[in-house]
Chains A and B, each alone.
Chain A
Amino acid sequence: MLAKSSATKVKNQVASHDVSLVSALPWIGPALILIILVVIWPVIELVRISFTDISAAGSLLDFNGLTNYRELLANPDIYPVARRTLLWVFGIVFFTVILSLPMAQLINQNFPGRKYVRWALIFPWAASVVMTSMIWTWILDAYSGELNLTLTQLGLISEPVDWINNPGSSFYFLMAVAVFVSIPFTSFVLLAGLQSIPNDIIEAASVDGATNWQIYRRIKFPLLRNSLLIATIINLINVFNSFPIIWIMTRGGPGYDTDTTTTLAYKLAFIESNMGQSTALGVFNFIVIMMIVGLYLRVTKATRTEI
C-alpha cells in the first residue's frame, strides 16, 4: 500500500545499520513481552491442560496423557460439527472471494459518487460483528422482520418463515451473514491490488484492441493473484475463528446443530464445564490455524523481506 519507492529505500537503510540484539531489546522488548503474555502463554497453557485431568471447577488434578483427546474422539457429536465447520469455512470463503472480485472491479471504476459507494462498503467492516448479527436476527425475524414483510408483499411467501430457527435454512443464513461481513475487507484488499496495476499496461493492451474482458482475464486477473491469495488466506483464518455471528444468532443451537468447532470449544468450556474435551478441541483448532498461518507466512515471504 505504501509507495513502491519506499520499499527500496527500506532496503538501503536497513543494510546500513547493523546492531546487536541487546541494543535492540529496549526498543522491541515491550512488544516482545506483550506478545508472550497475550499469545504465547495462552497457547502453552492450552496445550498443557489438554493433557491434564481438570475438574469442572477448573482445578488441575493429574497428568492424564491423551485421555481428553480420546474422550473427544469418542464423542459422536463432534463429527457432524467438524463436517459443518468445513462447509462453514470453505463455503463462506468461496462466496466471499467470488463476490468480492466483481465488487473490487466495480469500486475501481470511475463514476460519480464512487467515494460514497466505498464508504457504504465500510459499514459492515467497521461496525461490530455482534451488532451486525443482532440486526440480521431482527431482519430475518419470522413475524416482524423486513425480509418476510417484503417477501409477503411480493407474493413469494404466503405465511411467515422462521429463517433462523428453521433447521433446514438456519445454518445457510448464518453463512450468508458471515459472507456479508467478509466482503468489505476482501474487496478493499483486491481494490488495492487493482490499483497497483500500472495504467500503461492496460492502455497498451487497449490500444492493441483488447476488449475489457480480455484485459481483465489476461492482464488484471493474473496480476491480482497475490492479493487474491492473501485475501483468501486471511479470510480462511477469520472465518474459521468466527464466533460472534453464531453465538448471537443461534448459540450454535438447537443442540449442536449450528455449531462449528470454534463455537463448540467455547460452549464445552464455558457452558457445559467440559474442560477436558474443550481443551482437546481447542488444541485441534489451534493446529488448524497454525497450518493456515504457515501457508500465509510462506506466501508472504517474498514481499516480507522487503520491509
Chain B
Amino acid sequence: MKAIKSKKLTPKKVATMAGAYFLAWFFVYPYINMFLTSVRTHDELYATPSTHLPQVWQWRNYIDVWSHAPIASFLKSSLIVSISATILVLLVSLPAAYFLARYKFKLRGAFLLLVLATQMFSPTALIIGIFREVDFFKLLDSYIALIVLNAGFNLAFSVWLLAGFFSSIPAEIEEAALIDGCTRIQALRKITIPIALPGVVTAIIFTFVAAWNEFTIALTIISSVDKKPLPVGLTQFIGQYDIAWEYLFASTIIAIIPVVILFISIEKYLVGGLTAGSVK
C-alpha cells in the first residue's frame, strides 16, 4: 500500500517490475516470434544454423501473401460471419437483457439458468448434433448457419453483461422521459442505450472477437474454400509438405493484431461478462 503513495523506486519495487516485465515478454513472445518469422525469406526459414532475427527483412511477404493464398477470401468470410453474428447477438440480447433488468416474471430464474448454462457449453461437445441439425435444415456450407451458431453460443455473455448495465441505470430516468411524452422505445433509444453504451460496446467487441476466432464449427460445416473463415482457411497451410510459414504468419499477424487491440479496449469489462452471475 505504501507503494501507491511514494514514487520512489525501492529494491522491492524494482524486483516487481523486473518480474512483471519478464512475464509480459513471455506472454507476447510467441507473437513477436510470429512477426519475426513473417518477415523472413522462405530459404532463411530452413537455413542451418537458424538465427534469432531475420537476416533479410522481407517486408514484401505482407504484399505477396495476398496472391499466395486466398487470404482476401478468408478475411471476407471472417468479416461477414463475425459482423452478422454480432448484429444478431445485439438484436436478441438487448431486449432480453433490458427486460431481465427491469421486470420480474414467472420462470425468470429458469431463463437465467438456461442462459448461464448455454455459456458453459462449447460447440465442440455438441458438434455431431450441430452437424446433423445444420444438415437437416440443408444449410451445410452456408454462412447463415455459421452466423446463427456463433450468435447462439455467444449470446449469454451479452445478456448477462447488458442486464448488469441496464440494472445500474435507475428506472426513474426512463419514467421521467415517459412522462415527458416519449414512447418506451424512444426512451430506450435516447436515454437508456446511450448510458449503457460501454456495455453495448463491450458486448459488440466480445462477440465479434469470439466469432472471429471460432474454429470447430467452421471446420465442420464449411467445405468450400471461398467460404472458409481465417482460422480454418489458414490450417490449409499446415497440411502442405513445404509449409510456407512466412506467409502463414503474415496472415495470422493480420488476423490477430486488430482483435488484440479491440480486446485491450474493453479490458475493464471483460471479466464481468465471462464470469456472469458470480464475480461482482
Interface residues of A (CB under 8 A from B): 1-4, 6-7, 9-10, 13-21, 23-24, 26-28, 30-32, 34-35, 37-39, 41-46, 49, 58, 103, 106-107, 109-114, 116-132, 134-139, 143-146, 149-150, 152, 180, 183-185, 188-189, 191-193, 196, 199, 202-203, 206, 226-227, 230-231, 234, 237-238, 241-244, 247-248, 262, 265-266, 269-270, 275, 278-279, 282, 285-286, 289, 292-293, 296-297, 299-300, 303-304, 306-307
Contacts and interface: CB of A to CB of B under 8 A. Distances in A.
B241 interface: no
B33 A131 contact: no
B62 interface: no
B170 to A, nearest CB: 7
Q: Say whether chain B's binding surface is mostly helix, strand, loop, or mixed.
A: helix
Interface string B247-267: 011001001100110111001
Given A32-B111, A42-B130, A138-B245, A9 B125 contact: no
Interface residues of B, number: 114
Contact of B125 (A7, A184, A282): A282
A46 B124 CA distance: 12
B62 to A, nearest CB: 16
A248 B124 contact: no
A111 B279 contact: no
A118 B267 contact: yes
Contacts of B51: 149
Interface in B15-69: 16-17, 19-21, 23-25, 27-28, 30-31, 33-34, 37, 45-46, 48-52
Interface of B: 1, 3-4, 13, 16-17, 19-21, 23-25, 27-28, 30-31, 33-34, 37, 45-46, 48-52, 88, 91-93, 95-96, 98-108, 111-118, 120-122, 124-133, 135, 148-149, 151-153, 155, 159-160, 163-165, 167-168, 170-171, 209, 212-213, 215-216, 220, 230-231, 234-235, 238, 245, 248-249, 252, 255-256, 259-260, 262-264, 267-272, 274-275, 277-280
A38 B99 contact: no
Contacts of A111: 3, 13, 16-17, 20
Contact of A27 (B17, B96, B121, B245): B96
Contacts of B274: 185, 189, 234
Contact of A128 (B4, B30, B96, B213): B213
Contact of A188 (B106, B252, B255, B271): B271
Contact of B113 (A135, A183, A196, A297): A297
A41 B33 contact: no
A6 B167 contact: yes
A15 B4 CA distance: 41
Given A106-B20, A241-B125, 9 more contacts: A42-B128, A46-B129, A128-B231, A136-B30, A234-B274, A241-B122, A243-B216, A266-B124, A303-B277
A270 B127 CA distance: 10
A216 B113 CA distance: 34
Nearest to B199: A2
Contacts of A13: 101-102, 167, 170-171
Given A189-B275, A241-B124, A110 B3 contact: yes
From B20, B52, B100, B259, name the one whose CB has the most chain A CB atoms within 10 angstroms. Answer: B20
13 contacts: A17-B104, A18-B103, A27-B98, A34-B151, A38-B153, A111-B3, A123-B31, A143-B46, A143-B48, A191-B271, A248-B238, A303-B280, A307-B163
A138 B190 CA distance: 51
Given A28-B96, A185-B274, A120 B128 contact: no
Contacts of A193: 279
B234 A134 contact: yes
A138 to B, nearest CB: 6
B248 to A, nearest CB: 7
Nearest to B14: A111
Contacts of A106: 16, 19-20, 23
B52 to A, nearest CB: 7
Contacts of A128: 212-213, 215, 230-231, 252, 255-256, 259
Contacts of A42: 126, 128-130, 132-133
